[in-house]
Structure 1
Amino acid sequence: MRCAVWLLALVCSATVLASPLTEAKRTLQNGRPEERAEAVRNLIGYKKEKSAASVVLAHLAKETDDKVKEAIWEFLKSLKDEKARKMVVRRIFKYEDADTRAQLLIVAWSYKTPEGEKAVLKGLSDEAWEVRQTAAELIAKAKDEKRSVAFQKEAILKLIKVMPSDENARSRRAMRIALWVLTGQDFGCDRRKWKKWWKKAEPIYGTPDYGKKYKKGPGMTGVILDDDVPTSRKKTPRFFGEEIKKGRVIFVIDVSGSMGLKAESGRVKLEVVREELINAIKAMDKRYKFNIIFYSTGVAKWRPNLQKATKENKKAAIEFIKGRPAAGMTNIHGALKLAMEDAEVKLIILLTDGQPTVGITDKEKILEDVRRWNKYRRIQINTIGLKGEDVDPDFLRRLAEQNKGTSKTVR
């Protein structure tokens, strides 16, 4: 009898040790990234969802690997237990990392619960622009996803309150787009006009009468949603044959020592680039804003911020272009980092004739950092390689593809 009891206890103990939650606890503490990700995914469908969610949320604060985080978001979205979901929502704003808060808002929104929607509304006032932008982008889906009219009204009122005073151009723009999508109206950042209009529109919002009285216009006043500048084939600025359609652009140009050598065409490479760059800038009209970064061992920016393509600014930029010699090594990482710090830029054009040779030179690390920097910025990155022994077309292609851009090699 004693042996039977002992064997039963041993079997039960082994079962407990083999449970997905026990395994996840151990693996999250000591496992490799791929093992941690698998352990989290193994919790999907685990019957004690609240306990599993508690373990995963406790680990989340110290997790740094993107693939493991993807598994965590997948697991949290899979939760069905009401108490587990509420626990996730309650913890959103306890995390210091802005990306974590933003991703948890996406998780909360997927629950389609009042608690999740309230968390998204709270996200509009978060200290981090990435979180505010994410909240606004989620709210913009409310009508298509048939969220309640009561929630839409609450969201519109909150957007009217916070949007005009948001100091970040990206999150403010996301809020303005959300307002336009929900209401069909655009009063810019004028809170007074929004409030005056909403006082009249709110009672009939969500009814057939609203659609009859307030017809949605063709677009937003003063805002081009995709940031493209309307162009014609004859007048569009071009750089090495590629049209520049984004109206906020930074040219990131390699001026390392090798740029002073001759290209396959027989001309000095930097002379060719100067000519192309000057012609592109001359072709810009006042709708464009631009900047220039020259990089070699160090990194030099023409102006602190994007400048309007006025006659005076274009003249000053051309003088800057003509005065830069070719010297030094190739700091691609530093140049991209500086370019992506700009608050307005929508297009970066990177040109090089070589590979990274100073600063961070690991190409995988450069790609990883750019992906991280660009997660919420969504800047298009086009790359141009000057054909030669040193240039790496595959690296430039991957850099462009991962950031919604184009890549080409020129002679």
Structure 2
Amino acid sequence: MLLALLTTLPLLATAHAVPARAAGLDGGTEELRHLRSWIQRARRTRAGVDAERRTELEEVLARIVERDREHPLSPELSEEWIGGLIELAALGEERGRRRGARATASPFGSETAPGESWIGIRDLALGALHGRIRADPEGLGERLAASLQLPQAVEYKSLRRTLAILEALRGQHLAPTMAPLVSIVDAVAENGSEEASRRALEALAGWPDPRVTDFLLGRAEADVGSVGDLTRHLERLPSPPGERALDRARTLGARLLLSESWRDAVRGLSLVEQIDSERAVPVLIEALTLWGRREGTELSSRRVRGALVAELRRRSGRSLGADPDPWKRWWELVQAGRIALPTTTDGQGELYSSAPFFGLRLETDRVIFVLDNSGSMASPFRTDGSTRYEAAISELLGFLRASGPATRFQVALFSDRGRLWQRTPLHATEKNLARVERWLRSRHPGGGTMLFEGLREALDLDRDGHLTNPYPEVDTVVVLCDGETQEGKGWVLPWVRRENESAQLVFQCVRIGHAGDGTLEALAEATGGRCVEVE
């Protein structure tokens, strides 16, 4: 598509590709033999990796790194070392992303949590590979770039290794890899390798080269589904892009903010947040005026209107409410030089039209609650004699009453499986609140903590975790949990990257108590929400 933007790059010389399998070890080191043995045993198991096996791998990797530092490996052994790291990263990613894997016993490891332990193996391998990149960025960049050449890189037999290499290149910005990364992004339309495209985009994000910014701007202007890629890129840049790029981002952001789709408006706001106030504030005020006029209509969105107010408050350090007129007067004074913009953009103030849920301020009129119904939710909550589950019911009803009957809501529970109260969102009338309260109180806490199964019911995910409807009726998912989940957090980022570009959901999370495994925090951070802890 826009690969022509990169034609000024020198042509990549044909380099030695990283071998798919370890080469022969004649004359090799004992440490590399141990690494190959470890990988072979790992391939034969589907379970997790216990502490003993992980320690064994850490020690093997550390010895190879130390040997290479003192006496650099020969080119042949260096190739094998890099190939082993890529194989480890690929294996860890593949196994770690399998959601819902239960603890199992295996000769390779004792009873453990498979997904989390494999993600740890992937991170070990990537850490060692990043060390090699720092030691020889140009040389290793050319070797990895050669392994990303099309069409081989996205063929089925090579795809797993390609994904591992792309993961390793995230944030590295090695010049020889720029053209192959753009080629992989463009190739997705031809062979459907969406995961490779996503990872190539992650590797390009934040690359301080105008050609990358132009490439991502062009994609976003052609397809609103690519706006998130541009936003992430601008957010990670070490300094703002050029004036022309900022003007293009402003024009695109304004078009999306003023559209009739709340999803496009959310995309547009995220983009406008990345540009300077001179360009952004007039767009924000115009959008606030438009979305205020839509209040009470089918196009109304409390989330969009509240987010616009929050962004204006952040830029101004003032709390002027949801009426656009005070904001217009403030901006006129700024333009006249009578009021200065704050030097920091962390303005505080009350949130617009929001009701509380365990102290979490929720700005939404389209919401689904996903509540923990496991056995531990029968534990006492604070000192009022209620259980954690009863407190969750009370907070849910309190939020919906404060939010008003215009709010539409759904409720799902999770324990050993997910349960959904109502397939279609209903308005928060007293009749519907009475119905949902009866349903909730009839579901007594018990069983495990399989959070993803609650999301499967809440968002109508298929067996592979895909949204059957990429555009859910809700815009906010509120998740409450009181402990570690059985799936762990390894699934969160891959799932959000894959599914949420279309859905544009925000996850707002509440953790009761101190126990947790980072799942709630990861969901909130990945979608722009918040996670609060309550005792």
TM-score (norm 2): 0.50
Deviation of 1:232 after TM superposition, in Å, equals 6.1
Q: CA deviation at 1:266?
A: 3.7
Corresponding residue number in structure 2 for 1:284: 403
Amino acid at match of 1:38: A
Distance change (3 Å), C-alpha of 1:306 and 1:117: farther
Q: Does 1:94 align with 2:171?
A: no
- The residue aligned with 2:510 is 383
% same residue: 13
Residues 308-356 of structure 1, C-alpha deviations (whole Å, 9 max, x = no match)? 54xx3x531331222331345244331144446656433513145x665
Aligned length: 341
Task: Note the residue ranges of structure 2 that are not aligned, 5 or more in a row.
Answer: 1-26, 28-72, 90-120, 292-303, 311-320, 322-348, 460-466
Residues 166, 100 of structure 1: CA spacing in aligned structure 2 closer, same or farther, 3 A cutoff? farther
CA-to-partner distance for each residue in 1:119-142, whole Å, 9 max, x for gaps?
A: 54125546x94x442235546999
Q: What does 1:115-134 correspond to in 2, within 5 Å?
A: 117-125=214-222, 129=225, 131-134=226-229
Taking the aligned partners of 2:376 and 2:129, their CA distance within structure 1 comes to 49
Is contact 1:381–1:399 with CA below 8 Å preserved after alignment? no
Letter in structure 1 aligned against 2:170? W
Counterpart pick for 1:52 among 144, 155, 177:
144
After superposition, give the CA deviation of every residue in 1:69-123 in whole Å (9 maximum; x if it has no partner). 5432233x132x5xx4223322222244545424433544615243652354125
Q: Structure 1: how far apart are the matches of 2:379 and 2:80?
A: 62
Q: Report the secondary structure of 2:371's partner residue.
A: strand
Residue in 2 aligned with 1:147?
242
- Compared CA separation, residues 112 and 170, structure 1 to 2 (3 A): farther
CA distance in 2 between counterparts of 1:47 and 1:355 reads 43
Q: CA RMSD in A?
A: 4.8
Q: 1:245 aligns with which of 351, 362, 381?
A: 362
Partners of 1:47 and 1:273 lie apart in 2 by 56
Aligned residue type for 1:134 = D
Distance 2:84 2:379 in 1: 57
Query: Is 1:16 equivalent to 2:109 in the alignment?
Result: no
Contact 2:379-2:387 within 8 A present in 1 as well: yes
Contact 1:228 1:245 (C-alpha < 8 Å) held by counterparts: no
- In structure 2, how many angstroms separate the alpha carbons of the residues matched to 1:300 and 1:177? 33
Task: Answer yes or no: is the 8 Å Cα contact 1:133–1:175 preserved in 2.
Answer: no
Preserved CA contact (<8 Å) 1:383 1:406: yes
**Equivalent of residue 226 in structure 1, options 281, 304, 307:** 307
- Are the equivalent residues in 1 in contact too, given 2:255–2:268 (CA < 8 A)? no
Counterpart of 2:356 in structure 1: which amino acid?
R
Provide the secondary structure at the position in 1 that maps to 2:403. coil
Whole-Å separation in 1 of the counterparts to 2:350 and 2:255 = 39
Give the letter for the 1:17 counterpart. E
Structure 1 stretches lacking a partner, 5+ long: 1-9, 185-209, 388-392
Alignment of 1:62-77 (within 5 A): 62-63=160-161, 69-75=166-172, 77=173
* 1:326 match: 443
Q: 8 Å contact 2:227–2:271 — kept in the other structure?
A: no
Report the residue type matching 1:277 in the other structure: L
Work out whether residues 380 and 386 of structure 2, in 8 Å CA contact, stay in contact via their aligned partners in 1: yes
Cα pair distance change 1:239/1:38, threshold 3 Å: same
Query: Does the alignment pair 1:345 with 2:443?
Result: no
Change in 2 beyond 3 A, CA 1:99/1:220: farther
Residue 174 of structure 1 corresponds to: 267
Relative contact order, higher structure (CA 8 A, sep 6+): 2
8 Å contact kept, 1:349–1:382? yes
- Cα distance, 1:333–1:102 mapped onto 2, change above 3 Å: closer
Contact 2:413 2:419 in 1 (8 A): yes
Tell whether the 8 Å contact from 2:181 to 2:201 is kept in structure 1 after alignment.
no
What is aligned with 1:399? 519
Q: 1:159 to 1:101 in 2, by over 3 A?
A: farther
Calculate the TM-score normalised by the size of structure 1.
0.62
Name the CA distance, whole Å, in 2 between partners of 1:408 and 1:164.
Answer: 36
Q: Secondary structure at the match of 1:220?
A: helix
